[in-house]
Amino acid sequence: MWISRGLSLLALLAEQALAERFSVDGIKAPETQGMWMLYQYFVHDEKGGDRGPPIVSFDIQQRKASSEGSDRSQEYAGLEATVLSLQQSRDLIDVHGFCGGDRLQLKKTTSPPVSYRITGAHNFQSITLQEGSGVYVLLFTNCGSLVNLELVGEVTVRSTHGYIPFVERPKRALYGTLAVSYFTISVIWGAAALSWRHQLFYIQKRIIVVTISGLVECSCFFVLYDQWDKTADYHRVLFAVAAYASVYKVALCFRGLLVSAMADDPVNAGEPDVSVMIHVVLA
């Protein structure tokens, strides 16, 4: 019952975006004189931040997408990756003519854009963002004449606090606080219930299991967000364990309430029968 609900939840959330790191592996490059907007970054710029100013790191190469025609991907220089604030992308890009030669050409701007010329060779670059906090977009343009190219590599953005998207950062403190709360409740309730263990109602026994499930859920989420912020790595195993514990906790709550409500003897109530299981699944 709760296993099927947990698997359904994990299937729906399996493709969650991986932080402020965007992989372009296998993505086909834009057509000639074409532009693609592929990703949005949520950047926070705080003066005096312990990680320094926000930076964008490019590590992208181009390669031939198929075996047709000759391979000119090593010397081609028309592909470019650019990171702009969302407002700049609206104000500075002329959608009717954004190419100047083989480079992206913006309308009048006071500072050069954060751009990266993509080639067939490995070329890692880190560039400081100058526009401050806000939403940034990742653009790919092809202002040359070559097509049939695909990209490989990644673009990573680090804010002053770390790699986690700024809109996700408060969750780290939230789950840390909840984990401490669940731990405290588990200890207090477990100690109080120990001396009464032979006389506890069914629902009272279930409370300790629910609090432990909540502790596992929040602890995993806290570690997930903490490591995400420090390394830009999103650990899917931690997410799977946390999501499963969350679904299991909810199922336990429903089952405990229904069994207690339907049992003739609340102290010696057993596991729910088939009708109770059906009610839990429908809930």
Q: Please give the domain boundaries of the chain with CATH numbers for all domains.
A: 2-13+166-282 (no CATH), 21-158 (2.60.120)
AA letter at 269: A
**pLDDT value for 176:** 95
Q: How many CB atoms lie within 10 A of CB 58?
A: 22
**pLDDT value for 16:** 37
Closest CA to 73 of 85, 83, 61: 61
Give the Cα separation of 65 and 29 in Å (integer). 9
The ranges of the chain with pLDDT < 70 are 1-19, 48-49, 67-72, 109-110, 259-283
Give the Cα separation of 157 and 22 in Å (integer). 9
**pLDDT value for 240:** 94
Classified as helix, coil or strand, 274 is: helix
AA letter at 210: V
Burial class (CB in 10 A: 0-12, 13-18, 19+), 236: middle
Are the C-beta atoms of residues 56 and 127 closer than 8 Å to each other?
Answer: yes
How many alpha carbons lie under 13 Å from residue 89 in its C-beta half-sphere?
A: 21
Q: How many CB atoms lie within 10 A of CB 218?
A: 23
Q: What is the pLDDT of residues 260-271, one digit of tens each?
A: 666 555 555 555
- CA distances 41 to 55, 87, 213, 214, Å, are 12, 13, 33, 31
Are the C-beta atoms of residues 86 and 136 closer than 8 Å to each other?
Answer: yes
Maximum distance among all Cα pairs of the chain, rounded to whole angstroms = 83
Q: What is the pLDDT of residues 162-218, one digit of tens each?
A: 888 888 889 999 999 999 999 999 999 888 888 887 777 777 788 888 999 999 999
